[in-house]
Structure 1
Amino acid sequence: MAYALLGVRLVVGIVFAASAFGKLRGAEAFRRFEEAARAMGVPARLNRPVAVAVILGECAAVVLLALEPGGAPGFVLTLLLLTAFTAGIVRTLRSGTKASCACFGATTVPIGRRHVVRNGVLLALALFGLAAALTGTAAPASTPGVLITAFGALTGALLVIFTDEIGTLFEDDTPRAPGRVRSSSSHPAR
């Protein structure tokens, strides 16, 4: 359990660190994040304070996840942030508003179901991490085990961070009509 908790702390911590860094890497990235927040329904007068609060929350989550014992306060904060982010994404999808996901900085990829799935995975990881942290799981003792766990966590975090890029690899840009899937064979069904 110790290595699982370490792995989850690292995945969630790396993802939140990359998210904060992506928004802070320059004025353009921060402006794009503000635009995305506005497109997701944040009122204009609250746009900058909300953007700053999100980034501060992400930075705080990273620090809290690194603290002992087990990073429980960090998991609580990540659960709150991820719940708010997911609610905003679902609201945007339901409204039909076209907005890009500026989760990790500037991007042109529109918000889609993959973002809900990504956040669902992160929510599940954070819930597991919180439960493990609250049980008082001991810290891992084996250096090779820690290194293997860190490598696996980095790999998992990169998959989360590059969700948009990975998702576009599997899109075929073919328009789909709603309804039943039809056979591609030239023979009608009998």
Structure 2
Amino acid sequence: MLIGYGVWISRLVLGAVFGLSAVGKLTDLPATRKSVADFGVPIRWGPSMAIGLPVVEAVVAVAVLFPWTAAFAALLAVFLLAVFTAAIARLLARGKRPSCSCFGSVSEKPIGVRTVVRNAMLAALALVVGVGAVVHPEVPGVLATDAVGGLLALAVLSTVVVWLFGQVHALRRRVDAHAVSALGAEGLPVGAVAPEVELFDTRDVRTTLESLLVQGRQVLLVFVHPGCELCAALARELPAWRARTVDVLTIVVVGNGDAAEQDRWGREQGIGEMPALVQRGNEAALRYRVRGTPSGVLIAADGHVLAPVARGAMAVRDLILLAKKGVRQ
């Protein structure tokens, strides 16, 4: 009986994941079409693929619940995950990291090793579901009706809650983007007091601007995004710049979102001992009126903004040269 419940729960989990993926893609077709194009699907097939893929995922989500279709649904799930993972591996091998949008706009994060691991885990779950459907075709019929209904209701409720949480997260990103667009002129005036910000590392330890302004050194906040190729190119140069300016300048790489992902991205770019920290939402970018990446904000040792916001890798390099000279613009 316990094995039977395990088979049923594994099917519910797989159905919930594919259901979330299907709903997320269908409710944000523009993001889905962009993701499909980023993954190399020809333009003429893009619109059809953007609709067809979530429809197939919805079929998997429903079919996995019935004993006579569960094995087929599991096999289809493994096939979809294998194709998707192969596409991810091809892009990563080429140095490209487009946004996944696997669950629509709520999951617009660059692909990476974590995406591959997640897909591998889901494929393993799908294989378990397929084997369970073949070995125990009587499930869920042999289980208590109230238990089957309760677990199904719990799965549906959990799926809705996760979807709503994702929608709130996506709405917050849109609000942040709108706030940035409504800031007026980009950057704070030269000489303005630099606003205090809170940045966090992988252990959720807080770093403040006050703690960075030590030993009379200036601070350069370099705003980046893991999916930005120009950011990656600039990040790979930063260790050399740090070695030349270590006596007068503290360079901090600032992203947003997941601290572990930001730290991993920093290690992939070889930034060495420079901290790769994250802001909550877009708090730091909003306070410094930073609108894009890569961008740099140079702060004097006395806590004042030393130069206009530098947009682009070349402009950030100019800020580093300015800090090295120790001259206020």
Residues 104-150 of structure 1: CA deviation (Å, up to 9, x unaligned):
01144111111111110000000111011111343252445874697
Change (3 A) 1:98 1:43: same
Partners in 1 of 2:121 and 2:19 — Cα distance?
17
Q: Which is bigger in relative contact order (C-alpha 8 A, separation at least 6)?
A: 1
* Partner SS for 1:105: strand
* Partner SS for 2:266: coil
Which structure 1 residue ranges, 5 or more long, are not aligned? 183-190
Change (3 A) 1:99 1:177: closer
Offset of 1:45 from its aligned partner?
Answer: 1.4
Partners in 1 of 2:153 and 2:109 — Cα distance?
29
Change (3 A) 1:119 1:135: same
Q: Which moved more, 1:64-73 or 1:111-120?
A: 64-73
Partners in 1 of 2:58 and 2:152 — Cα distance?
23
Residues 139-189 of structure 1: CA deviation (Å, up to 9, x unaligned):
25244587469758959xx6xx98xx9x8143454732789x99xxxxxxx
Partners in 2 of 1:176 and 1:76 — Cα distance?
37
Partners in 2 of 1:168 and 1:15 — Cα distance?
21
Offset of 1:70 from its aligned partner?
Answer: 6.6
Partners in 2 of 1:177 and 1:90 — Cα distance?
16
Q: TM-score, normalised by structure 1?
A: 0.76
Q: Is the Cα–Cα contact under 8 Å of residues 67 and 137 in structure 2 kept in the other structure?
A: no
Change (3 A) 1:120 1:93: same
Q: Is the Cα–Cα contact under 8 Å of residues 16 and 155 in structure 2 kept in the other structure?
A: no
Specify the alignment match of 2:260 in structure 1: 170
Q: Is the Cα–Cα contact under 8 Å of residues 57 and 81 in structure 1 kept in the other structure?
A: no
Specify the alignment match of 2:117 in structure 1: 117
1:1-190 alignment to 2 at 5 Å? 1-25=3-27, 29-69=28-68, 71-106=70-105, 107-140=107-140, 141-142=143-144, 143-144=146-147, 147=150, 154=158, 168-173=258-263, 175-176=266-267
Partners in 2 of 1:5 and 1:118 — Cα distance?
20
Partners in 2 of 1:149 and 1:169 — Cα distance?
34
* Partner SS for 1:66: coil
Q: Which moved more, 1:65-74 or 1:120-129?
A: 65-74
Offset of 1:97 from its aligned partner?
Answer: 1.7
Q: Is the Cα–Cα contact under 8 Å of residues 69 and 136 in structure 1 kept in the other structure?
A: no
Offset of 1:56 from its aligned partner?
Answer: 1.4
Partners in 2 of 1:23 and 1:72 — Cα distance?
24
Q: Is the Cα–Cα contact under 8 Å of residues 71 and 133 in structure 2 kept in the other structure?
A: yes
Partners in 1 of 2:49 and 2:131 — Cα distance?
29
Between Structure 1 and Structure 2, whose CA radius of gyration is higher? 2
Which structure 2 residue ranges, 5 or more long, are not aligned? 170-256, 274-329
Change (3 A) 1:72 1:93: same
Q: How many residues align?
A: 172
Q: Is the Cα–Cα contact under 8 Å of residues 85 and 116 in structure 2 kept in the other structure?
A: yes
Q: TM-score, normalised by structure 2?
A: 0.46
Greater percentage in helix: 1
Partners in 2 of 1:17 and 1:134 — Cα distance?
22
Q: Is the Cα–Cα contact under 8 Å of residues 26 and 51 in structure 2 kept in the other structure?
A: no
Partners in 2 of 1:101 and 1:56 — Cα distance?
18
Greater percentage in strand: 2
Change (3 A) 1:176 1:127: same
Partners in 1 of 2:269 and 2:151 — Cα distance?
45
Q: Which moved more, 1:142-151 or 1:125-134?
A: 142-151
